[in-house]
């Protein structure tokens, strides 16, 4: 009797490829609007508006489609953990990192999620760790050293470059944890729309609490730049982008879905070069290539073990 094929081994069909393209384009173009949010409104407050609207839309969808809304407390603990990791800490840290780094470099650091996810899977779920993961991690660290090392070593990091890097790494780690938790919710049979709706609610509550703790006013910047970027982030990235990414996790597993993060910088760096005048250096280019190569190394097909008998 043949065993059921796991999401990790499922072949990529037309639907999975479409989900890849949608996820890469939406998240790859989302880093520039994120930086456009920075200015008058505190990052935590921008996050509140973002997820307040997104959660309202999701619950409206659940009511119209008669989707599931009530869950036991154990599932709510999982939704709370997802709200903390995937829909609040991840966003707040990258918003703050955006004060120090151009959008293209934010996406480069985020590409390390492709390495973090299998590492965390090995630690928490005892998934065997392939040697390529270790090599990919080393390549990623070396790449970041090439990108950020020269500037920090020259004293330019005093302006916050190192702070931006650390915040981005925390945000990437948070995103990776949330990706694994979404896989746990899928195995529990939690509907995707319901999971997102409650995750958005808890993420919104956490960011509101952070804003209150920091004494930030709940205001809106009434101009095209802020409202336009907020609309894009709510409709495209939060509602459509996360739906596509989380569906992809359910179909092929979190580690393989993490490959999308490797492709985000290709889009984000192009936009950053055009709109932010991102300054390319030989060291930065080599470091970015090394980070992406390390992430790609982790996710390349590893071949099938020969079957016994």
Q: What is the pLDDT of residues 50-68, one digit of tens each?
A: 999 999 999 999 999 999 9
Distance CA 51, CA 98 (A): 19
| Dihedral angle sign, alpha carbons of residues 236, 242, 192, 72 | negative
pTM for the whole structure: 0.81
Q: CA-CA distances (angstroms) from residue 194 to 62, 75, 240?
A: 7, 11, 14
- Amino acid 13: pLDDT: 73
Among 45-49, 55-59, 74-78, 131-135, the range scoring the smallest mean pLDDT is 131-135
Distance CA 23, CA 67 (A): 24
Q: At residue 260, does pLDDT exceed 70?
A: yes
Distance of CA 67 to the CA centre of its chain: 26
Which tokens go with 94?
Answer: 């990258």
Distance CA 171, CA 90 (A): 4
Note the pLDDT tens digit of each residue in 184-222.
998 888 898 899 999 999 999 999 999 999 999 999 999
- Amino acid 237: pLDDT: 87
Q: Which helix (H) or strand (E) element contains residue 142?
A: helix 131-153
Residue with tokens 């990192």: 97
Distance CA 103, CA 105 (A): 6
Closest of 54, 49, 106 to residue 227, by C-alpha = 49
- Provide the strand spans (E) within the chain: none
């Amino acid at each position: 009797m043949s065993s059921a094929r796991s999401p990790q081994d499922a072949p990529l069909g037309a639907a999975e490829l479409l989900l890849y393209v949608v996820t890469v384009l939406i998240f790859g173009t989302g880093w520039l609007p994120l930086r456009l949010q920075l200015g008058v409104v505190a990052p935590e407050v921008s996050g509140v508006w973002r997820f307040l609207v997104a959660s309202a839309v999701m619950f409206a969808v659940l009511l119209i489609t008669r989707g599931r809304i009530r869950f036991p407390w154990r599932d709510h603990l999982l939704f709370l953990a997802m709200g903390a990791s995937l829909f609040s800490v991840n966003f707040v840290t990258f918003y703050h990192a955006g004060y120090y780094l151009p959008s293209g470099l934010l996406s480069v650091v985020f590409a390390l999620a492709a390495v973090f996810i299998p590492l965390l899977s090995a630690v928490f779920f005892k998934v065997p760790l392939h040697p390529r993961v270790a090599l990919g991690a080393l390549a990623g660290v070396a790449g970041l050293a090439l990108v950020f090392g020269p500037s920090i070593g020259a004293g330019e990091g005093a302006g916050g470059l190192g702070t931006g890097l650390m915040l981005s790494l925390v945000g990437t780690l948070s995103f990776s944890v949330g990706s694994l938790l979404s896989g746990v919710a899928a195995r529990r049979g939690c509907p995707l729309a319901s999971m997102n709706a409650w995750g958005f609610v808890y993420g919104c509550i956490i960011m509101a609490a952070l804003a209150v703790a920091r004494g930030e006013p709940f205001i809106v910047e009434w101009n095209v730049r802020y409202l336009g970027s907020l609309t894009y982030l709510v409709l495209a990235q939060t509602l459509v982008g996360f739906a596509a990414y989380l569906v992809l996790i359910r179909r092929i597993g979190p580690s393989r879905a993490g490959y999308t993060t490797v492709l985000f910088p290709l889009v984000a760096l192009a936009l950053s070069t055009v709109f932010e005048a991102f300054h390319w250096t030989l060291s930065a280019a080599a470091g970015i290539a090394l980070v992406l190569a390390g992430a790609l190394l982790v996710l390349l097909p590893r071949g099938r073990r020969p079957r016994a008998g």
